[in-house]
Every structure is written in structure tokens, then in C-alpha cells.
Amino acid sequence: MARVLIVDDAAFMRMMLKDILTKNGYEVIGEAPNGAKAVEIYKAERPDVVTMDITMPEMDGIQAVKEIKAFDPNAKIIMCSAMGQQAMVMEAIKSGARDFIVKPLQPERVLEALKKVLG
Amino acid sequence: MELNLNELQIDALKEIGNIGAGNAATALSQLINKKVDMSVPQLDILEFSDMIKRVGNEDDEVVAVLLKVFGDIQGNILFLVKNEEAQKFFDTLMFGFSNINEEMFYSMFQEIGNILGNSYLNAVSQITNLSLLLFHQ
């Protein structure tokens, strides 16, 4: 069972994502409302995969990806953001994210992305 | 306010609004898993204080999400729903979840506003080549 860390500043979004994941056999090992907390939980828990929002208080998702990748170059991170503008997608991928999902989240798309990065 | 726009410019602004709103309507439809229709956008150039009259009744109670746009263009996006419609959103999206508190209600509307605002801007940004970012409080 793959261990997932969910990062999103919206409690509602974390709840929806957790619901999709747990119903499909994933274990949600932690939830973070900002990038700083995400980095902290990543270092302590070493999850198999991270879902990462971009626009968040304290530390945004792009910076969090950079810090997690610096700590663990093999970290698998999937961006989940409403901000689908090309420049943002490119920046996330350049920073080390493996995939980019534009909200609203389609459960099939989320599961497909997870399968791909874990495969 | 003096803003002289010719027919073509007005038409272009309407079309930009139409594409943005179409993209947002698609996002909304995916979010609630229901068909969403929209009317053709109307463009008005008016006093800020007349805006309320334009969108509804002054006495209506509404749920409102204000999003600040920054980047190449500064502005605001306001997402408004009447209370009874807001309840329908909540019932649809929270179906099957228990222990839902007021914080989750706020979070849900912030996120709906965020997703709709961004899908609007993503489309506008694509056709205009402008960089547009959202900030929600």
C-alpha cells in the first residue's frame, strides 16, 4: 500500500483527495496546509508520493518541491493546482515535480498519475 | 468613467469573457458532476456602485468569494451565490461525508472560487498571452 502525503491549504480539498485515495487503497500518512509543514512531514515520514498544491501561505508548492527534492532527489511529487497556466506547469516540472494535475480533480486522473509515478 | 471602446474592442472583450466563463463552467461541471449551462456574457461599463444592482437584489443574502488578480493586469473576480444555492452546492459536494463543520463550509467555497477563478484566468491567459495570477484572502 503506497503511502501518500497530501499538501493543500484548503481543508475541503484535502478531505476530497483523502477520500479518493483511501477508497482506492492508498494510505494517507499525513496532511499539510502549507509548504513548510509539507517539507517537515516529508523528512520525518518519507512518503512514497506527495500531492502538492501551489498557492499556499508560508511556503508555496514550488518552493516546497525544491526543498523536498534537495533532501531526497528521488522524491515523487504530483502537483495538484487550479493554476494551469503553462508557465506555472513548466516551473513545477523544472523544479522536480513528476506530473501536474489541474483542479477540479477528476478521480481517474489522480489515480492514473499516482499509478504512473509509482510504477 | 470615460472609456472609449469601439465595436471591435467591445466584441473582443466579450469574447474573452465568454471563453473564460466557458472554461470556468466546464470546471464547475466537473466539480459537481452535473451539466452546467451559461448565458452569453454581458459587458457593461458602469459605476462601481451600480454593480450590485446589475447582479442582483441589494437585500439578498449571498455567499461571496473575492479573488484578487495580479500579474500583467490587476483586477478582481467576485464569485456570488445566493444562500439557498450555496446550500445546494454544499449538499452536492459534501454528500456522504460526516462531521462537516462551518470551517469546511468556508473552505469549500474558497476552493470553488479558487478553481473557477483560475479556470477563467487560465483560458484568458492562454488567448491573450498575459500572465495572470490569483490571490485569495
Residues of B in contact with A19 (CB under 8 A): 97
Amino acid at B56: G
A118 to chain B nearest CA, in Å? 26
Kindly determine whether residue A11 and residue B114, on different chains, have CB atoms separated by under 8 Å. no
- Distance of alpha carbon A15 from the chain centroid: 14
In a domain, B1, yes or no: no
Q: What range does the domain containing B83 cover?
A: 7-136
DSSP B16-85: HHHHHHHHHHHHHHHHHTS----PPP------GGGHHHHHS-TT--EEEEEEEEEESS-EEEEEEEEHHH
Residue of chain A minimizing CA distance to B111:
A10
Note whether B107 contacts A103, CB cutoff 8 Å. Answer: no
What is the least distance, in Å, from the CA of A74 to any CA of chain B? 30
Q: Contact A103/B115, CB-based, under 8 Å?
A: yes
Q: Is the pLDDT of residue A83 over 90?
A: no
pLDDT in the model for residue B133:
87
From chain A, the residues in CB contact with B134 under 8 A are: 55, 83
Cβ distance of B114 and A12 shorter than 8 Å:
no
8 Å CB contact of B126 and A86? yes
- Choose the closest CB to A106 out of B28, B30, B118: B30
Domain assignment present for B123: yes
Q: Residue A90 and residue A92: Cα distance in Å, rounded?
A: 5
CATH number of the domain to which B112 belongs: 3.40.1550.10
The stretches of A1-100 forming alpha helices (DSSP H) are 11-23, 35-45, 61-71, 86-95
- The complex's ipTM works out to 0.79
Per-residue model confidence as pLDDT tens for chain B (137 residues): 567 889 888 888 999 999 999 999 999 999 998 899 888 888 888 898 898 888 888 888 999 999 999 999 999 999 999 999 999 999 999 988 887 888 999 999 999 999 999 999 999 998 898 998 887 65
Q: Name the residue in chain B with its Cα closest to that of A104.
A: B31
Residue B2 is assigned to a structural domain of this protein: no
The fourth-level CATH superfamily of domain A3-118 is Response regulator (3.40.50.2300)
Instruction: Name the 3-class secondary structure at A50.
Output: strand
Residue A37 DSSP SS3: helix
Residues 6+ apart with CB under 8 A from A96: A65, A66, A68, A69, A75, A77
Q: Which residue of B70, B89, B114 to mutate against A (max A Cβ within 10 Å)?
A: B114
**Domains identified in chain B, total number:** 1
Q: Is residue B37 part of a domain?
A: yes
Q: Residue B68: inside a domain, yes or no?
A: yes
Q: What residues does each domain of chain A span?
A: 3-118
What is the pTM assigned to this prediction?
A: 0.87
Q: Which residues are CB-neighbours of B80 under 8 A, at least 6 positions away?
A: B55, B56, B62, B63, B64
Closest of B48, B81, B47 to residue B62, by C-alpha:
B81
